[in-house]
Amino acid sequence: MACGLFGGIPITAVVVRGAANVDAGGKTKLSAFTHGVFLLLAVLFIPFLLNKIPYASLAAILLMTGYNLAKPKLFKSMLHLGMKQFLPFIITIIVILSTDLLIGVTIGLLISIYFIIQNNFKAEYKIITTKKSNTDHHLIKLNSNVSFLNKVKLRKSLDEIQEYNILTIDGNECNFIDYDILEIISEFEEKAKDRHIEVILNGIEKVSVSSFH
């Protein structure tokens, strides 16, 4: 009994600590830090007192805290964000209730990572090709975020550009471009001279490429 409660309190405290801190009026990082320190000290030095808390009382507190953290309005809001947001959310809750906190959070995290990777593997750019005066003009327009996961697809798209064509790469609408992507673009710009391809970069930072690979 002692071990179970001793292990359950700190885990539960970690989950609800942030919300409890805000409800108590905490507004700074220092309040969150001191709150955590007090919890740690209590677990280390007075576990015998924590173990005297009746399970029924602890359960009642957790039920009320859980309800306040997961009101029906929150479920509706998550559902409106789309299935990619709602599925990890609801599956995490179900697994936590079915097994334990650690397993539930881990599975929820893995599902979220899957959706993130799946989204990033989609082409974060689009290619538009037009023909002017018997010359192909290619426009590669980068979207808001281009990560290293798009590296292979982008390199393949660049390699497919034919000689004596004009290529414009537009990154004006990007919030983030991974360094690997910038390196590929800079490398291609250097190689393009030998293939008589004119490269125009808009909103793309040039980086030094020590060697071609």
Class of domain 125-202: alpha beta
* CA triple 88-23-67, angle to 5 deg: 45
**Entry pTM:** 0.45
Residue with tokens 């209590």: 42
| Digit-coded pLDDT (tens) for 192-212 | 988 889 999 988 888 776 544
pLDDT at 79 (0 to 100): 84
Q: Does the pLDDT value for residue 10 go beyond 50?
A: no
Share of the chain above pLDDT 90, in %: 4
Nearest to 127 by CA among 117, 118, 137, 113: 137
Which of the residue ranges 7-21, 38-52, 131-145 would you say has the lowest mean pLDDT? 7-21
Residues of the chain with CATH 3.30.750.24: 125-202
* Calpha distance 131→110 (Å, rounded): 45
Tens digits of residue pLDDT in 92-113: 888 888 887 788 888 988 888 8
Beta carbons within 10 angstroms of residue 153's beta carbon:
14
